[in-house]
Homo-oligomer: A and B are copies of this chain.
Amino acid sequence: MLNQDEISLLQKKLPFWEHLTTTQRDALLAGAAPARFSAGQSIHCGETDCIGLLIVKTGTLRTYMTSDEGREITLYRLEGGDICILSASCVLEYIDFDVSIDAESDCELLMLGAASFARLSAENVYVELFSYRLATERFSDVMWAMQQILFMSFDKRLATFLLDESAKTGSNELHLTHEQIARYLGSAREVVSRMLKYFAKEGYITASRGTVTLADRKGLRSLL
């Protein structure tokens, strides 16, 4: 059972709410439940996995694709207030690819189970429209990532990432390992380490175990 805050969140986040009949609203609420995932936990993986629509209350989800050899490319991240549709990809007939989704930090979510969401989506055109709009929004995210990965040189990408992280956390000190940075950027740890060494030499950053500190933001920005 959802509490009143959770019901309000659903109503706020689901623009099709006003187009639902009372029966459909009841069905949606009956199929909804709060969920928690711990940092690092896998939420969605592979085609057979279809837990449903996820509304992020707190924490960060990371969506990525994986090669046969296990190489990962981060496509986008979702945070508080965002809605994850690819965890319900089985509901969307026009999606025929698959991605993996992990909890990047501890997460609190509201989950709309795939079965009841699929039923609603088949019954109500506004629910289906909502899903495909959301999928198209993610398409935009993926195109951005593709642009970054394929066209932007790595020094620019790393500088952009460090400045973004610093802006997001409001601190010059970023608690990130080279491995983590590599994963965010869809690159290899060695490539990150090499570039951070170069950045340190230029005086843009200082690096110690598990921490990167921005020392010269202007310098970093000059790379963009």
Q: Which residues of A contact B (CB under 8 A)?
A: 65, 67-69, 71, 73, 92-97, 99, 125-126, 128-129, 132-140, 142-144, 146-147, 149-151, 186
User: Is B97's CB under 8 angstroms from A150's CB?
Assistant: no
Give Cα distance in the complex from A67 to B150, angstroms: 8
User: Is B151's CB under 8 angstroms from A67's CB?
Assistant: yes
12 pairs across A/B with beta carbons < 8 Å? A67-B151, A94-B133, A94-B134, A95-B136, A96-B140, A97-B144, A99-B143, A129-B129, A129-B132, A135-B136, A136-B136, A136-B139
CB nearest to A151 among chain B residues = B67
CB nearest to A73 among chain B residues = B150
Specify how many copies of this chain sit in the oligomer: 2
Q: Which of B99, B139, B186 contacts A135 (CB 8 A)?
A: B139
Main secondary structure of the interface of A (DSSP, over half): helix
User: Is A142's CB under 8 angstroms from B140's CB?
Assistant: no
Residues of B within 8 A of A95 (CB): 136, 139-140
Residues of B within 8 A of A97 (CB): 139-140, 143-144, 147
User: Is A71's CB under 8 angstroms from B136's CB?
Assistant: no
Residues of B within 8 A of A71 (CB): 150-151
**Nearest-Cβ distance from residue A114 to partner chain B, whole angstroms:** 17
**Nearest-Cβ distance from residue A56 to partner chain B, whole angstroms:** 18
**Nearest-Cβ distance from residue A125 to partner chain B, whole angstroms:** 6
Residues of B within 8 A of A151 (CB): 67-69, 71
**Nearest-Cβ distance from residue A47 to partner chain B, whole angstroms:** 13
User: Is B94's CB under 8 angstroms from A137's CB?
Assistant: yes
User: Is A139's CB under 8 angstroms from B137's CB?
Assistant: no
User: Is A147's CB under 8 angstroms from B94's CB?
Assistant: no
Residues of B within 8 A of A138 (CB): 139
Give Cα distance in the complex from A135 to B129, angstroms: 12
Residues of B within 8 A of A96 (CB): 140
CB nearest to A138 among chain B residues = B139
Task: List 4 additional contacts besides A67-B147, A142-B143; criterion CB under 8 Å.
Answer: A65-B150, A94-B136, A97-B147, A125-B126
Residues of B within 8 A of A129 (CB): 125, 128-129, 132
